Chain A
């Protein structure tokens, strides 16, 4: 075997090995395993879990959380955070529900969805404005807008409630509808997942998000347009929260001033549990979806076991802690850097002894 052959042989086999490794080491794979395990146990022990209506309920709730969590994931990936998504969702749920009554006809749904996205994006731009123009840390800026947007929500609904009967038929029926046996919510979540995954992986914008999250200084040095990207990132997150608001109206029927309360921490938890690094740069849209699925499942199982409703929230929190702790230990082990003496030991081309051996000049 010539030296060149030997080198390329080693190169391809090590590349193949590392790709298999990479697959196994993917945090998504570990999380999927955990979800499958909980599902199996729940199916085996809880008869209510297997019912079609429960599965539907679980998936619908998860789809709603997942859509908002995907938006949050994009923000976190860029080493920012958005604490206002719950408020954006709430105010959009109310406004879209109220205004979409004016658009009937075949284009009603299209206008409704666009309206939700645009409204949400507008609120997201408000967040980005504070971050960009006033140089506020995102955590402070969005904590402020959380309060502002919630306040706006109270002002616009003026103490009243929106009932399912007040919204157009297409919106009220969204939750119950299905295409090819799969609920509309799940289709919408799937479309969002595919679209955002594509954006993150295959567009300059997406790669800039990862670069900003992984090393902001280096990204700036490379010429990433940080201000523009910040506007886009928060707008995308806001738009998805707005879309979540549309689904919320259909899901719960009545929308009041508390709509979306508590959603912030749920979606952040979903993204982080799913494997999006709070320090940015690592994770995918799929991570957020899997995280939402895990949280949704834990909540569902707790409800079905009929443990006191008072204890439920505490138990849910505890379950999250346990899941994240287990997962953190596992993934830390997986992520541990390969201890090796840099490139030499595995690089026959650079090892003088190997070169000599391959060249056949070795004299023992």
Chain B
């Protein structure tokens, strides 16, 4: 399975490669990040680059874009062996990359962001007219309706990605590397991005699509390249592999089911929300939450799910409507109050809202219960903290070299486990999870979801917010769909992804297939 030569027969029908990597090696200190990886990229194809965190994807991307130089192996571009010693050389060869969080100038307008650093001039004076004209032409060419005069801060992350792509086209890129382009997009935005990527492919641009989301990889790529532990595991036409085969290749072990099986026994009602409204964010939201159930909240980014969760947790206040907790009226005045009554909330952005990166893991893990760790006179009992955090780490299956390390040195998946552990410390009765598997690799994702399922089985009521249709579908015992701030559908039994998408977008999703 791990012999790359075996697959090359199925690729013989296509044009000569634009980029060919031969036996690329790279190590950092003693760690071999890439051990002899070979792959090809042809004109007008989309290649999916897959692998768990640490498999060597980022290193490979950095080598292609000239950020890093390989220790061994060859880079062949248009049939010639090249040294891509810095990003400028890569750009001159027509290789560009867009990143998840594009480096942009929020205060400057769209056109200037497209040309940043290379504004056209006439006799030394910036030629705004030609800048706007070129911007409009490029947008028309790739079929995007964006106003080049709008300052960037007014645009969402999806538009910024479009701008990044347009920027690389203006600079004459033939090879475009997209690093996790969909991780911050709603499913509808993903569809639009794919239409754009398809049109780029038709124009002969070659794309490398780096992603964790296997269904998207299946949908958009022509071929897949799978890395594991710095080595090439497979290079195959996408049509020849199934999602479960991909998972197996990435993890190196069979995960029969990505998603845990759920115990569908709902206890008595714990939280009842009636007509909850916060103008401009959500309106007239009513639902009940029972012990032991996982209530999925599906919807597009911006549908008001996060805002609803924040209103329940007391970060913001609803303007009207009522909530009862165990039959008693509950007003979400502050997060502190919410924690006291047994509610926990894992925010979507764990980096800025969930963790203090510069602190060691035990401090983060026990942050929610510091009040209990300190003794009567306020002395912080460090030993108690270590004991508690060790228990929590075991519960969330934290994989850390040592427990007492800096939180910033953990992988994304393990950081998310720390956040989870920190909230489990409060022994919540209601656990609200906002995009809990965002940006973490497949293996860790399965573990996190398994923990969630176990918690529900012990009677914790879970509200599960996710924009990943497959995930929210598989993880919910009951599912609410929100659109533009309202609950538009409720499903008590598992339904097809396209039914959820229809409800979430208000568009007949069957037309898309």
Contact = CB atoms under 8 A, between A and B. Distances in A.
A353 B189 contact: no
Interface residues of B, number: 48
Interface string A332-349: 000101111111101111
B121 A352 contact: no
B153 to A, nearest CB: 6
Interface in A206-228: 206-207, 210-211, 213-215, 217-219, 221-224
A2 to B, nearest CB: 14
Nearest to A221: B103
Contact of A341 (B104, B125, B302): B302
Contacts of B108: 210-211, 214, 281
A29 interface: no
B189 A343 contact: yes
B300 interface: yes
Interface string B191-229: 110011000000000000000000000000000000000
B159 interface: yes
Given A207-B126, A343-B146, A350-B144, A222 B106 contact: no
Contacts of A349: 143-145
A191 B380 CA distance: 65
Contact of A10 (B124, B145, B158, B186): B145
A342 B107 contact: no
A234 B117 CA distance: 21
A8 B62 CA distance: 39
Nearest to B143: A349
A96 B18 CA distance: 66
A173 to B, nearest CB: 37
A169 interface: no
Contacts of B195: 350, 352
A10 B139 CA distance: 13
B125 A202 contact: yes
Interface stretch (B324-332, B338-346, B505-513): B505-513
B186 A342 contact: yes
Interface string B122-163: 001110100000001000100111110110011111110010
B299 to A, nearest CB: 11
A213 B107 contact: yes
Nearest to A4: B140
A343 B153 CA distance: 14
Contacts of B121: 204
A218 B163 CA distance: 15
B105 interface: yes
Nearest to B132: A15
Contacts of B185: 342
A206 B112 CA distance: 13
Contacts of B153: 335, 337
Contacts of A201: 126, 128
A266 interface: no
Max chain B C-beta neighbours (<10 A), residue from A202, A224, A280, A343: A343
Contacts of A356: 511
Interface in A301-341: 335, 337-341
Contacts, number: 133
Given A207-B126, A347-B192, A351-B192, A218 B149 contact: no
A7 interface: yes
B145 A210 contact: no
Nearest to A336: B154
B465 interface: no
* Dominant SS among interface residues on chain A: helix
B422 to A, nearest CB: 30
A14 interface: yes
A18 B105 contact: no
Contacts of A350: 143-145, 192, 195-196
B107 A343 contact: no
Nearest to A208: B117
A177 interface: no
B58 interface: no
A218 B105 contact: yes
A203 B122 CA distance: 10
B156 A15 contact: no
Interface size range on A against B: 35 or more
A12 to B, nearest CB: 10
Contacts of A347: 144-146, 192
A211 B105 contact: yes
Contacts of A217: 103
Contacts of B150: 18, 22
Interface in B71-128: 103-108, 112, 116-117, 119, 121, 124-126, 128
B177 interface: no
Contacts of B105: 210-211, 214-215, 218-219, 281
Nearest to A201: B126
A219 B42 CA distance: 33
A277 B151 CA distance: 15
B188 interface: yes
B438 to A, nearest CB: 17
A207 B118 CA distance: 10
Given A203-B124, A342-B159, A19 B149 contact: yes
B507 A353 contact: yes
B460 interface: no
A63 B112 CA distance: 32
A332 to B, nearest CB: 12
A343 B104 contact: no
A282 interface: yes
B126 A22 contact: no
Contacts of B145: 7, 10-11, 14, 343, 346-350
Interface string A176-214: 000000000000000000000000011110110011011
B301 interface: yes
B246 to A, nearest CB: 26
A22 B192 contact: no
B125 A344 contact: no
B158 A343 contact: yes
Contact of B126 (A7, A10, A202, A337): A202
A274 to B, nearest CB: 15
Given A18-B149, A337-B156, A343-B156, 19 more contacts: A201-B128, A202-B126, A203-B124, A210-B107, A214-B105, A214-B108, A215-B104, A215-B106, A217-B103, A218-B104, A218-B105, A219-B117, A282-B107, A335-B153, A340-B302, A343-B158, A343-B159, A349-B144, A353-B511
6 contacts: A18-B149, A214-B106, A281-B106, A337-B154, A338-B154, A353-B508
Interface of B: 103-108, 112, 116-117, 119, 121, 124-126, 128, 136, 140, 143-147, 149-150, 153-159, 162, 185-186, 188-189, 191-192, 195-196, 280, 300-302, 507-508, 511-512
The 8 closest A-B pairs by CB, nearest first: A342-B158, A222-B117, A281-B107, A214-B105, A218-B103, A349-B143, A350-B192, A214-B107
Interface of A: 7-8, 10-11, 14-15, 18-19, 22, 201-204, 206-207, 210-211, 213-215, 217-219, 221-224, 277, 280-282, 335, 337-344, 346-353, 356
